[in-house]
Chain A
Amino acid sequence: MNAVAYATAAAPSASAAQALLAVRDVRVRFGGIAALDGVSFDVKSGELLGLIGPNGAGKTTLFNCLSRLYAPVAGDILIEGRSILEIPPHRIVDIGISRTFQNLALFGSMSVLDNIRVGAHRRSRSNFLTDAVGLPGTRRRDAALTGAAWELVDYLDLRDVAMRAVSDLPFGLQKRVELARALAARPKLLLLDEPAGGLNHEEVDNLGRLIRTIRDERNVTVLLVEHHMNLVMSICDKVVVLDFGRKIAEGTPAQVRADRDVIAAYLGTAE
């Protein structure tokens, strides 16, 4: 990984006292079942928070609320004290939330570089007319955007495949492209939904280091959903545990690991 080569841009925000993200009593229902049943927790700026729980616990549902794909029936979600529930999905990236998807949601026929450039969509401006005419100002801005995308290509070691269509790449590389695309938006809050899925042991270790490096160098707060316990326990500052849509535990990795409810929840399932 080329992570060290990247120079940090901004200083960490001063208002560390206020939570970057506050989830307040969020409830989501699908038909009869409560996918989220009154979940509350805070994420402080700069924190790396693990969100764990058995299958169907509601982890992805919470991410989808943060992306405004699902609307909670009750509760609130605040970023730096402001509710996001009135913001349309395509504006979520403007307030600093960016994500990856559990089952990959890449632009399959487009190149790796283009995927990353779409990630930086809101970091530039243009419209149909200026782009069709190719005005010099528009071109300059696009060149800047492209430069930033190349930087991410190198940061995540994707240069060899930068021009390949992502659908032609192996799963592990595709996951990395998704991470690069999410970073291209320069988020304050990065949501990672099972980034270690399908990776082998060594790759998981590398990923853990990478996530920490990203958090440290890029000043992002990370919300990590993972089934890979070793990964979560080794890199997270704090862990929130969901089960059947409820928060059953919250604390440091050591506290959570020793929690009786957590042990019961995990023993109660096939895992």
Chain B
Amino acid sequence: MIAGVALALLLPLAIKGFFLFQLTLALIYAVAILGLNLLTGFNGQFSLGHSAFYAIGAYTAAILMDQADVAYYWTLPAAGAACFIVGFLFGLPALRLEGLYLALATFALAIATPQLLKSTPLEPWTGGVQGIVILKPEAPLGLPLNSDQWLYYFTMLTAALMYAGAVNLMKSRTGRAIMAIRDNPIAASAMGVNVALYKSLTFGVSALYTGVAGALGALTVQFVAPDSFTFNLAIALFVGLVIGGVGSIPGTLLGGLFILFVPNIAEELSKGLAQAVYGFILIAVIYLMPSGAAGLIRLIVGRTARSRSQPVHFETASRSARLTRETPMSSSTSGDENAK
């Protein structure tokens, strides 16, 4: 743990330029995947539309910097707040939708967003197809860091806060209510959990996380354009979620690394067949780790320390991964039965 943190902190001194940029981006994706995981892994709501929240976050940051000269660090809370509101409002009507229908509604959000960003009425702010170019933030207080290094640390700090928040939340009374809804909404309601409110708020918080990631992404790439936020991004986040482990917080870090680096590796293996190679790698990974990286780690940890009792939180999170994956709609079905 400590070694990992030390490594992450010292890394920018050893590596430079493009690779550091990629690592920053992987961390940003991890935060976006964490947002998706709060919704899907912990609350049992599906989304194929998180690219939309990433886009809203990115555009909020870009427009604020471009049009209003807002300092880059203020764009993060602004992006988070904007996405929280949009996510919450989207989550309200989505309460009526279960499983596949919710997936479909969020899919609609994903395909509509790039077009809306290109649309003429919004062009004065969004720059239409051209998008918006923004400046890279410089290190503050005369720190001896170039802007790539500074962005890496800035992203790291933001991500650390957001991961800490997610871990706290999921260990808390609120987190237990969120997971209870996933496992059995009717029983959760009978125990006094306001299911509608918690589901909408979880949608908002999930969008907030992914939106802040979008804002960080805009700062890092220094550019936003509608076609960076297509359905492909939504799918990439979904892949990262499943690879890392549905319902696992640490797994999202691996998910972020995976969706950033593995497509590139596939490209290197074969230019012409990059997509096919990526597909093959995906199938192989899913086959080898059917409950994601978190499941594999659990298996290894479980083998070496069978008798030792594990922290509650890790246990719950990783188990839910397996359950949610195998029976996506089991909770709602069993709930209905009990109402009979």
Contact = CB atoms under 8 A, between A and B. Distances in A.
A pairs with B:
yes
Interface of A: 60, 64, 67, 69-70, 89-94, 98-99, 101-111, 113-114, 117-119, 121-122, 124, 126-128, 131-134, 138, 142, 145, 163, 165, 167, 181, 185
A109 B335 CA distance: 14
B257 to A, nearest CB: 25
12 contacts: A64-B339, A90-B193, A103-B334, A103-B338, A107-B179, A107-B180, A107-B188, A109-B179, A110-B176, A118-B180, A122-B192, A132-B174
Interface residues of B, number: 44
| Top-8 shortest CB links A-B | A131-B172, A122-B192, A107-B183, A105-B187, A93-B192, A132-B165, A131-B174, A109-B320
Given A69-B339, A93-B191, A134 B183 contact: no
A121 B179 contact: no
Contacts of B168: 131-134
Contacts of B316: 109-111, 114, 165
Nearest to A146: B173
A103 B337 contact: yes
Interface string B210-254: 000000000000000000000000000000000000010000000
B190 A89 contact: yes
Nearest to A92: B190
B177 interface: yes
Interface of B: 165-166, 168-169, 172-177, 179-180, 182-184, 186-195, 201, 205, 247, 309-310, 312, 315-316, 319-320, 322-324, 334-335, 337-340
Contacts of B323: 108-109, 167
A107 B184 contact: yes
B193 A127 contact: no
A128 B183 contact: no
Contact of A185 (B174, B183, B192, B338): B192
Given A91-B192, A106-B184, A121 B173 contact: yes
A154 B141 CA distance: 56
Contacts of B174: 126-128, 131-132
Nearest to B202: A128
Contacts of A64: 339
Contacts of B340: 60
A165 B183 CA distance: 12
Contact of B177 (A92, A94, A121): A121
A214 B166 CA distance: 38
B299 to A, nearest CB: 16
A150 B193 CA distance: 21
Contact of B190 (A99, A102, A108): A99
A133 B162 CA distance: 10
B246 to A, nearest CB: 11
B198 to A, nearest CB: 9
A89 B181 CA distance: 14
Contacts, number: 132
A111 B312 contact: yes
Contact of A67 (B173, B176, B190, B337): B190
Given A90-B192, A181-B191, 12 more contacts: A89-B189, A103-B338, A108-B183, A109-B324, A110-B180, A118-B176, A119-B191, A121-B191, A126-B172, A126-B174, A127-B174, A132-B169
Given A102-B338, A117-B173, A167-B323, A133 B165 contact: yes
B192 A94 contact: yes
Given A128-B205, A131-B168, A101 B309 contact: no
A93 to B, nearest CB: 4
A32 B186 CA distance: 25
A39 B320 CA distance: 42
B206 to A, nearest CB: 11
A4 to B, nearest CB: 27
A77 to B, nearest CB: 16
Given A118-B188, A126-B174, A134-B172, A90 B183 contact: no
Contacts of A113: 312
Contact of A128 (B179, B186, B201, B247): B201
Contacts of B166: 132
A126 B187 contact: no
Nearest to B166: A132
| Interface hub of B176, B184, B205 (most chain A Cβ within 10 A) | B176
Contacts of B319: 109, 165
B172 to A, nearest CB: 4
Nearest to B187: A105
Nearest to B340: A60
Nearest to B194: A90
A232 B166 CA distance: 47
A133 B177 CA distance: 17
Contact of B172 (A70, A119, A138): A138
A121 B194 CA distance: 10
Contacts of B337: 103
A20 to B, nearest CB: 19
A105 B193 contact: no
A122 B180 CA distance: 14
